[in-house]
Structure 1
Amino acid sequence: MQVVYSRCAGLDVHKKSVVACVITPNDSRGWHKEIRTFSTMTKDLLNLCDWLTSHDCTHVAMESTGEYWRPVFNILEGNFEVILVNARHMKAVPGRKTDIKDAQWIAELLQHGLLRPSLIPPIEHRDLRDLTRHRSNFIRERVNLVNRVQKVLEAANIKLASVASDVMGVSGRAMLAAIVEGNSTPELMAGLAKGTMTKKHDLLVSALEGRVRPHQKFILAQLLAQIDSIDSSIELFDQQIEEYCHPFEAAVELVDTIPGIARRTAEIIVSEIGTDMSRFPSAEHLAAWAGVAPGNYESGGKKLSDSTRKGNRVLRTILVQAAHALARTKTYLAAQFRRLAARRGKKRAAVAVAHSILVIAYHLISRQEPYKDLGADYFDKQRPESVKKRLIKRLEKLGYQVNLEPVPVAS
């Protein structure tokens, strides 16, 4: 096979050690391989960098093993062309597997240009991505805590969630504090309602009449304290992310113009895909990378599966959530969701709309143009005759005889 990189190295990265294999030209025997093992401490990683430099290495490849690749990448970045590779793309022949053989296999694949590099964004982009991902973790933890509060309330015969859509809203939070204090009657707690909740006074009185045990008050107090702490952390993350978003503000504002995409969602999308769309050959490649595009598995001329592949889980999750959120709007994307959900189900419809959202975001950032909605009646306008026949057929099934007369158009 053709040699693409004459001086390269493969790294087999673990939590405590890195096995490195360097391949360099050798006039007498063709190619020379040298293998060394280093610790993952910063001092030893610097020694690894010096060792690779002494062999005039130009390219280094390693597996994307959890988070263990990041310390190694931080040291080698800027000194070599570092290629991060998905482990599923370079499986070796089973049998006789060792760390040394893994490093040799990675180096040989790199030498012949058989590795497909993963996307490693610039450092500013990675910083923003770390912030948005950790904020999402805090938001998930808050949701878990709110669910635990709901379990405690149910165990205490408090049916607040049956009346209030958000038990952690302004009214619900005041009532929970009163429950923890234990000095209020259901009538007094119902009087703490604000806004539209004041219209549900009688229902609140019935819902707040329960049997709260002392230990349940203690549990509620601890859960509410943790929720307050997480709320403060999320607010600090919002401030920090807003500061780090300044270089990407134009892209965030453009993505935010898509219906169903809130500011936080736009920040996550931009933090995951960046602003340089030239890294993706097309919008379809971006959708495939994110894991929201149909798979391609064909054999013998038959398509065996079209399941989506594993992609960027963070990006896929937020896109699917946005798809479910915009399904209740009167927009083109909502019409697409309802059209597909009727035939394929809501889950597949959500993935398809997530694909559309990402393709739209790709073009908005590439063209630097805001989103222009096609309208909820876009599909009806494309095939009006089909819509007419379908509606007539439905009415006839209900036992009606339909005679249509066109409405004269005003001149």
Structure 2
Amino acid sequence: MAKSADSVTGPLPRRCCNAQFACEWLYAAINHIKGGKTMEETYVGIDIHRDYGVACVRDLKGEIVDEFQFGNNIEGIQKVREKLGENNVHVAIESTGNMWVVLWDTLEENKLDLHLVHPLKTKAIASNKLKNDKLDAKMLSRLLRGDLLVCSYVPPRDVRDEREIVRLRASLVRLRTQVINKLRSILHKYCIRYKGSLRQNAGIEFLSSLEIRPVDKSAVQSYLETLKTLNSEIASVNAQIAKNEKEEIRLLMSIPGIDYYSAVLINSEIGDISRFPSHNKLASWAGLVPSMHQSGTTFYNGNITKEGSKRLRWILVQCAHASIKTNSKINEFYSKIAKRRGDNKAIVAVARKLVKIIYAVLSSGNPSLYGDPKKTETKIKRMRTIAEK
């Protein structure tokens, strides 16, 4: 029969105020139970920049065992991978633009315990008066060891790829809007009004036939070539997005106001729905809950927090506008609030209601009760048509 930990290490005193002693006792007890084998558990803080990164490695007792700098390139990241190995390594990486992505993907292959640190909220917990890369890496490793970090959710790689493709489409649409605004600006110089869409074939033909000064004619032709290219690229990206036929996408498309693009964007931003214990938590992450201010006996709610995923919040507001036009129940809900609080707050309330519906649909795996099966089937057919182009 195996001996108890107390028979070797001695019992832990009831009134032990020394945290380091308690940690050492626990460490020795675990090693004894494991047959005397040392569990080399390490905590690594990495402060990453565009050209290089700084790492600080601590052991279970909190002592620094290694500090090193590496280049933020393939060779430097492979150096980090070799140094850290694969066993019982916990890594905290500060989120800095997109500069952490390659490092994360590489270390993820080693199946390490990775944490992407929220820089602003971590600064609120512990900020150094003297700030440099070494101190930041030390602080990250110390907070990681104490489980005091505020971390961001990083979805699996396939979900990250979904995010990239829908964000690419949003970026291309913004560029197209800029080009159309440039074209309308030229039309305003000549007091020309065109009520249709300039990005459609009829609008392009109208712009090509304009009799204006040569300098503006040249600008219009240049913008039209750019517009045609963007239209082609957006159509290509739309086809890629429409090929996504996950069950979650079909379920989301059963909700009024949500089509295939909105469904893919919502699903990619949310990721695993089980990480939210309730629809209220999901709404809070989308930034669609009111801010709260309290001091003593004074308490009041302010505007929505607008924290969390701004893309999810944006698409929910867009879907809210569409849903009030396609569903009578949601329109009735919107009208009641609009009479009392105005249109803007009513739209936000509808977006918040959509969050509740989305949570119920994804959690239960059943289509929305607000949806119309025939309309949902029409959406799916249109999605397949676009995917085949």
TM-score bucket (shorter structure) = 0.7 to 0.9
Q: What residue identity is the alignment partner of 1:303?
A: F
Deviation per residue, 1:271-330 (Å, 9 max, x gap): 2113x3212222211121122222344332433543314211111111112223333444
Shift, 1:34, TM fit? 2.4
Q: Distance in 2 between matches of 1:357 and 1:13?
A: 38
Q: What residue identity is the alignment partner of 1:87?
A: P
| Structure 2 residue matching 1:298: 3-state secondary structure | strand
Q: What residue identity is the alignment partner of 1:239?
A: A
Deviation per residue, 1:2-59 (Å, 9 max, x gap): 8699521111111111111111146xxx6234211111011111101111228x5521
TM-score by length of 2: 0.79
Which structure is larger by alpha-carbon Rg, 1 or 2? 1
RMSD (CA atoms): 2.4
The residue number in structure 2 matching 1:175 is: 206
Cα pair distance change 1:304/1:35, threshold 3 Å: farther
Structure 2 residue 321 is the aligned partner of structure 1 residue 317: no
| Structure 1 residue matching 2:299: 3-state secondary structure | strand
Q: 1:331, 1:374 within 8 Å by CA — same for their partners in 2?
A: no
The residue number in structure 2 matching 1:256 is: 253
2:370 to 364, 369, 373: 373
Shift, 1:111, TM fit? 0.2
The residue number in structure 1 matching 2:78 is: 46
Q: 1:10, 1:107 within 8 Å by CA — same for their partners in 2?
A: yes
The residue number in structure 2 matching 1:86 is: 118
TM-score by length of 1: 0.75
Structure 2 alignment gaps of length 5 or more: 1-18, 27-39, 373-389
Q: Distance in 2 between matches of 1:295 and 1:6?
A: 40
Q: 1:295, 1:309 within 8 Å by CA — same for their partners in 2?
A: no
Q: What residue identity is the alignment partner of 1:339?
A: K
Q: 1:9, 1:59 within 8 Å by CA — same for their partners in 2?
A: yes
1:76 to 82, 88, 107: 107
| Structure 1 residue matching 2:152: 3-state secondary structure | coil
Q: 2:286, 2:309 within 8 Å by CA — same for their partners in 1?
A: yes
Shift, 1:128, TM fit? 1.0
1:293 to 274, 289, 296: 289
| Structure 1 residue matching 2:192: 3-state secondary structure | coil
Cα pair distance change 1:374/1:338, threshold 3 Å: farther
Q: Distance in 2 between matches of 1:37 and 1:374?
A: 55
Cα pair distance change 1:219/1:374, threshold 3 Å: closer
Q: 2:256, 2:371 within 8 Å by CA — same for their partners in 1?
A: no
Aligned length: 333
| Structure 1 residue matching 2:359: 3-state secondary structure | helix
Q: Distance in 1 between matches of 2:332 and 2:181?
A: 32
Q: What residue identity is the alignment partner of 2:313?
A: R
1:7 to 42, 49, 68: 42
Q: 2:56, 2:64 within 8 Å by CA — same for their partners in 1?
A: no
Q: What residue identity is the alignment partner of 2:42?
A: R
Q: 1:332, 1:374 within 8 Å by CA — same for their partners in 2?
A: no
Shift, 1:262, TM fit? 2.1
Structure 2 residue 158 is the aligned partner of structure 1 residue 124: yes
Structure 2 residue 384 is the aligned partner of structure 1 residue 350: no
Q: Distance in 2 between matches of 1:259 and 1:51?
A: 52
Deviation per residue, 1:216-257 (Å, 9 max, x gap): 2111111111111011111111222233x23x2x21121112
The residue number in structure 2 matching 1:222 is: 222
| Structure 1 residue matching 2:206: 3-state secondary structure | helix
> How many percent of aligned residue pairs carry the same amino acid?
32
Q: What residue identity is the alignment partner of 1:143?
A: T
The residue number in structure 1 matching 2:130 is: 96
The residue number in structure 1 matching 2:376 is: none
Q: Distance in 2 between matches of 1:374 and 1:128?
A: 25
Q: Distance in 2 between matches of 1:94 and 1:8?
A: 20
Structure 2 residue 270 is the aligned partner of structure 1 residue 278: no
Q: Which 10-residue stretch deviates more, 299-308 or 84-93? A: 299-308
2:91 to 52, 57, 60: 60
Q: Distance in 2 between matches of 1:304 and 1:76?
A: 45
The residue number in structure 1 matching 2:7 is: none
| Structure 1 residue matching 2:109: 3-state secondary structure | coil
The residue number in structure 1 matching 2:237 is: 237
Q: 2:242, 2:261 within 8 Å by CA — same for their partners in 1?
A: no
Cα pair distance change 1:348/1:35, threshold 3 Å: farther
1:37 to 69, 77, 81: 69
